[in-house]
Structure 1
Amino acid sequence: MTKGLLNRAAMAATLAAWTLAGAPAVAASAPAADRPVSVRYVFDWPVADFAIVPIAVGQAKGFYRAHGLDVRVILPPDAQTTARMLASGEGDIGFEGATDVVFAANIALPITSIASYSQHNSWCLIGRPGEPINAADLAGRTIGTFTDSWTGAMMRFVLQHAAARAGSVRQIITQVDNIPLLLAGRIDLATNVAAYGVAAALEQTGRMPELACGDAIGVPDIPVWSFTASPAWLARHGDTARAWLAATNEAIGWSVEHPAEAAVIFTRAFPESGSAAFNIAGWRYLSHAMSGTGGYLAQTERQWTILSRALRATGQISTLPPASTYFTNAYIPG
Structure 2
Amino acid sequence: MSETMMTLKVAERIEEAGNIVRLRLSAPDGAALPAFTAGAHLDLHLVDDSCDLWRQYSLCSDPAETGFYEIGVLRDPNSRGGSEAVHRLATPGARFPVEGPRNHFPLAEDAQNTVLLGGGIGITPMLAMAQRLHALGRPFTLHYCTRSASVTAFQQMIAKAPWAANVVFHHDDAAPEQRLDLTRDLPAPDAATHLYVCGPQGFMDWVISTAEAAGHATSNVHREYFSADVDTSGESFEVVAQRSGITVTVGPNDTIAKVLAAQGIKIDVKCEEGVCGTCVTDVLEGVPDHRDKFLTQDERDDGDAICVCCSRACSKTLVLDV
Structure 2 length normalisation: TM-score?
A: 0.32
Higher normalized helix content (fraction of residues)? 1
Higher normalized strand content (fraction of residues)? 2
Structure 1 length normalisation: TM-score?
A: 0.31
Larger radius of gyration: 2
Higher relative contact order (CA 8 A, sep 6+): 1
